[in-house]
Structure 1
């Protein structure tokens, strides 16, 4: 009978091990909560006005309360950035709220967050708020100051005018829009602005090419084979010292062309640069960049005075096989 007892003993041990493993597998585990950054744009108290960039206020409140009930601590964007840069290590999950653009509906969310003593940030597009009065659809500096003064809001930089650096077609006219990828301060950066349900290739600028001018900035007039001299007049909006110029190159004449053009640049008769604008080596050709932003560095800085009018002149010093063109909107004037 001894072997039989041994068999029962082994069976009981195996059963206990299986039971123990089964119990362990069924034990509930706490899910890991990852830190969250929330970004909003517009708000509405009318559920019928919800859209891709406008949230119903009750839905917004529900989202915030949900995270609070889950144990998240709301922190200002600056504290969240410190965590992201590994400069602090919070004890529990954190979340931050950023409201983009400073639209006129920002107060709907901001004042509720202040009542709840929840920190947040408002990312301001400076130009949209204007010097005296804001553009249509945006809040005022006065209201922004009132929100900020409550002590729970951080003011963030959403650029001054970057939302006007791309162009799209609207009602058979070209209008300015924000750059969503490869922003204009990146040389040769590809950027995208495509509307919902737009099936075009993202690099299709046919609407811009057809409804804008290719302004000949420098190079050679291929009809006369003479070097080009061009000028652009503008009024400075603020006191600033500049040491480079940004240009949005269109298709050149002829397209996919270019040469090492030496160009003298002067502002109100004062020479600021004599630069050689070289071609870029691509896989199959060498040419000036097209449909991309290009930087031209000055040899010396130049200080502009607010509200003064300036003429910047480009004088090509040598001839070649192409005209360097930049995008220009015909008959355009405005505070840009």
Structure 2
């Protein structure tokens, strides 16, 4: 049998990933009770990836507070009922050999929206229908969404505390790692970008100030979860807009975040500015991950239209990223990792026992 960089285990602090084929946060908008509690849907959705051989299975963007949700149908981790339900899911992921990760998020001005796959409704959900007033670093609306209210400094401290409490609950729920979501135009990205952050206090203006809340969260979460748990940060490496957040800023802040206690960086792009053109093509975001890794000297994973075993293996074997995350391809085929091992001629020992007779020969 062959060897493959894609199927070489990776260790971060006390956690070892069986391979470098990972599942990113995939928003499901499927909490019908609108209470943030994950359901059987989430167990089956996430559990299938673990059965299919993924090394890391990440939750959808999981809100640290009710107003941190993207939609009323998102998951959360701000109360004990949610912790208990997540615990059932992490137990299953562990039984199938996957690392269980949780992405901690606050949507900011992009919250209170209709769920992403709603057939007709778009924009902000009215309060009468379960929506809420949104918050942001500055009172600037995203596209046609309702304008947010600017957070004051005391409320910023509250947001930091919400991330810390959510991280502590994540440990209780059995997660192996936490990821701080600072990408895709959500609250922390809104602070980072000069296009959405017009503040004149210590959280606005210079890059150091705009990054302050992210670094405060990284330091506080690291202190809360201890020295053994991996801590990831997800960044969008560019706003795709003139005068916006860019890959140089990303590399700089990633290095600062590593100094503050982060271990690994999940590099995506876009989401903070509406009406921009994103140059979609296979692996289109990989160069951004490569740039951040080589410039900041930090480990990264790559995302973005990665769809084949050969493509994923080349990204890792070439050193452009330490791992890859496949979203849509994993949803199309939750057993992608097992299929990739077969296609690359790699022997793996984590086929589900009940599925062995279906193994490719």
Higher-strand-fraction structure: 1
Greater RCO (Cα-Cα under 8 Å, separation 6 or more): 2
State the TM-score, normalized to the length of structure 1: 0.27
Higher-helix-fraction structure: 2
Computing the radius of gyration over CA atoms, which structure comes out larger, 1 or 2?
1
State the TM-score, normalized to the length of structure 2: 0.26
